[in-house]
Amino acid sequence: MKRANIFYMLFVAALVLILTAGIALGIKGQEEWDILINDTDLSAPVLSAESGFYDNPFSLSITSPDNVSIYYTLDGSIPTSDSILYTEPIAISRRGDGENDNIHIQNMQEEWQEAYGEDHTILATVVRAVAIDSRNTCSDIVTATYFVDRDEDRGKLVVSLVADPDDLFGDSGIYVTGKAYDDWYLGEQSGNIPMPNFLQHGMDWERPAVLELFENDSILQQPVGIRIQGASAREYGLKRFSVYSRKKYSGSNWFDIPLFGDWKTHSFALRSGFMNAYIQHLVQDRNIASAESREVVVYLNGAYWYATFAQEKYSGKFFQEQYGVDDDNVIIVKGGGVDSGSAEDHALYFAVYDFLDTHDMSTPEAYQELNRLIDIQSYIDFSCVNIYFGNLDYNENKNSVCWRARKPGSGEYEDGRWRWALYDLDLENLNYGVLEEDINTFTMDTHYAGSAFNTRPLWAALFRNPTFRRQFVVSFMDMVNTDFTVQNAVKAYENWDVSLPWDVRTPEWALHYFPARTESITGYLSEEFGLTGTQASVTLSVSDAEAGHILLNTIVPDLSEGEWKGTYVTDYPITVTAVPDKGYTFAGWQSNLAEELTDKTLTLDIPPEGLQLKAFFEKK
């Protein structure tokens, strides 16, 4: 008994020593165990040059402050004691001209034997180094990316992703079909078809990587998680990535610098489609969530991958940062399924459709009650965008994102109502080389998303209500007169480099498209809503642009140049409100109408000859 106690005490003591030292057991290969000690006292190697762009070749020295052995890799793999032992400086030179400057990937599509595969030229040198002492203690790994004589990418936002090649292209790699599928594909092809790795979703298919961003110099380096992103795009050879900041990688759920504006970012997607980025930027003033984008050039393990867009991803943290709702309290429904939240949250989404089934939506009472379940203005704005641009790949359960706060709170967006977010506008009618200005989005069936827009359940139910019809038509014309004007459309191009190699429409294209599209779609609007009036001008001005402004329906017209002019249908009245700035008071209206107008807020019919209004303000 005493001997057993002694053995037990020795075992406990040894275990304590192991845990105190931070020893972790891991499999080396598949046969032997290797003891790796996570000792934070061992300093990481020091590189003699920082990541970045260099004009000329140079020699890179690596030193260890602890004077221990250094091992490194040049292919993005994680360095171990089996990697290259550092003994002399590494030559860093221009890449892309040598026989080893190429990555070939074969099994990245289901029928990969019939495909050539994908070649990517290595144009940058990636160095990853680790210090390891005589006890096999490993330091943190340092990673750097060097571009030599690559002037064509200077000044652009360059994304360098570095990940172990096995995590990308190995048996369980996320970029390829993978071992399970390949064994089936190359075998007798009997039984169920294993799902290719690149079609998998979730945390199990996220891999660690290092993200580095450059704008001439390195502006960010941070450990991240990456996944393959998209729907049908996953099956293409040139796959896109989602990039996540998480505590498990870097100690933070946010990137270390602002990426898209003066707010924090948790995750972004590398995705194609100029119009998807352009349209969302165009309508940022509306009551719909939109994701900001930036053009980027992407390198993977030093190889040039593609020029594309980095776009914020919708997540609980996105809505926390943008709308002030705690991320744990955010429900996101994408394509009809819960994307962020619990399975029980689905019932809150379907409660909307249950309400439509059990209420007569033509009544004012039902409309008011539904507006307590959803933000109807948000749904209207979302629909206006999809209708105007003829999105052929949308229905209420496809490429549709809505969100809400699970529990009501005191914040503006914590009222428990569903709101909409723009998502995946790649198949709007502009994106595939045909300028279909004349498409009737209301009635056109599409094989991408099923039946016509005007047959979908939420739209069809709301359309029965006269208040909705007025609200929609007025909002649509508000957007036609602001977001979809030629001036706004051309100005939005200031955010994009139209020389980059993607399917981009130029400002010259916008000069033609927007007037033609507005003319055709407002005609179809009149047909769909049975409008019998005409279109007439509304002209607004103020006595002093520094003294106040005017609210018009859902917009704030720009009066900085003296006056603003728009076009509206005469079937529905407009609503205007004079808003004095601090230190001023409202003093009255001047108009082309016969009656005197004295109230701050007016609801007015538009005469066929047009309406002219001027708001006067005076100092208090």
Q: What is the pLDDT of residues 322-381, one digit of tens each?
A: 999 999 999 999 988 999 999 899 999 999 999 999 999 999 999 999 999 999 999 999
Q: What is the pLDDT of residues 422-463, one digit of tens each?
A: 998 876 655 444 457 888 888 887 656 667 777 789 999 999
Q: Does the residue 25 lie in any domain?
A: no
Among candidates 223, 261, 262, 272, which has minimal Cα distance to 244? 223
Q: Which residues of the chain have pLDDT under 50?
A: 1-39, 431-434
H/E stretch holding 521 reads helix 507-529
Crossing angle of helices 466-480 and 376-388, in 10° steps, is 50
- Residue 544 confidence (pLDDT): 95
- Residue 613 confidence (pLDDT): 98
- Residue 240 confidence (pLDDT): 94
Tell me which amino acid residue 21 is.
A
Tell me which amino acid residue 619 is.
K
E-only strand ranges, 493-600:
535-542, 548-552, 563-569, 574-580, 584-591
443 and 353, same domain (yes or no) = yes
- Residue 533 confidence (pLDDT): 96
Last residue of a domain, one of 259, 294, 310: 310
Computed over its alpha carbons, how large is the radius of gyration of the chain?
30
Query: What residue has token string 């030229």?
Result: 121
Q: Does the residue 217 lie in any domain?
A: yes
Q: Does the residue 563 lie in any domain?
A: yes
CA gap 139, 187 in Å, rounded: 43
CATH number of the CATH domain containing 610: 2.60.40.10
- Residue 547 confidence (pLDDT): 96
Q: Does the residue 305 lie in any domain?
A: yes
Q: Does the residue 5 lie in any domain?
A: no
By CB atoms closer than 10 A (0-12, 13-18, 19+), residue 314 is: buried
Contact 303, 123 (CB under 8 A): yes
H/E stretch holding 511 reads helix 507-529
List the Cα angle 504/508/510 in 5-degree steps. 70
Residue 324: which region, alpha, beta or left (left: phi > 0; alpha: psi -120 to 50)?
Answer: left
Among candidates 464, 391, 453, which has minimal Cα distance to 424? 391
349 and 288, same domain (yes or no) = no
CA gap 407, 331 in Å, rounded: 10
CA gap 119, 238 in Å, rounded: 10
441 and 508, same domain (yes or no) = yes
CATH number of the CATH domain containing 523: 1.10.1070
CA gap 105, 149 in Å, rounded: 26
Query: What residue has token string 């005589």?
Result: 134
182 and 138, same domain (yes or no) = yes
Structure pTM? 0.88
Q: Give the pair of three-digit tokens for residue 277.
A: 């980025």
208 and 227, same domain (yes or no) = yes
CA gap 502, 271 in Å, rounded: 12
Q: In total, how many domains does the chain have?
A: 3
CA distances from residue 167 to 25, 100, 198 in whole angstroms, order as listed: 20, 21, 12
Last residue of a domain, one of 269, 290, 310: 310
Query: What residue has token string 């040059």?
Result: 49
Q: Does the residue 254 lie in any domain?
A: yes
157 and 205, same domain (yes or no) = yes
H/E stretch holding 306 reads strand 303-312
Q: Give the pair of three-digit tokens for residue 238.
A: 């040139």
Q: Three-state SS for 157?
A: coil
239 and 359, same domain (yes or no) = no
428 and 577, same domain (yes or no) = no
Q: Give the pair of three-digit tokens for residue 592.
A: 């082309």
How many beta carbons lie within 10 A of that of residue 553, not counting itself? 21
Q: Give the pair of three-digit tokens for residue 505.
A: 């429409």
Q: Give the pair of three-digit tokens for residue 267.
A: 């995750």
565 and 599, same domain (yes or no) = yes
Last residue of a domain, one of 528, 562, 584: 528
List the Cα angle 103/304/278 in 5-degree steps. 140
How many beta carbons lie within 10 A of that of residue 358, not counting itself? 8
Tell me which amino acid residue 390 is.
G
Residue 233 sits at φ, ψ, to 5 deg, of: -65, -20
Q: Does the residue 329 lie in any domain?
A: no
CA distances from residue 473 to 386, 568, 570 in whole angstroms, order as listed: 14, 9, 11
54 and 199, same domain (yes or no) = yes
444 and 490, same domain (yes or no) = yes
Taken in order 365, 368, 374, 378, the sign of the CA dihedral is positive
Among candidates 585, 590, 588, which has minimal Cα distance to 598? 588
Q: How many residues does the chain have?
A: 620
Q: Does the residue 331 lie in any domain?
A: no
Q: Give the pair of three-digit tokens for residue 11.
A: 């075992």
Range of the domain at 445: 343-528
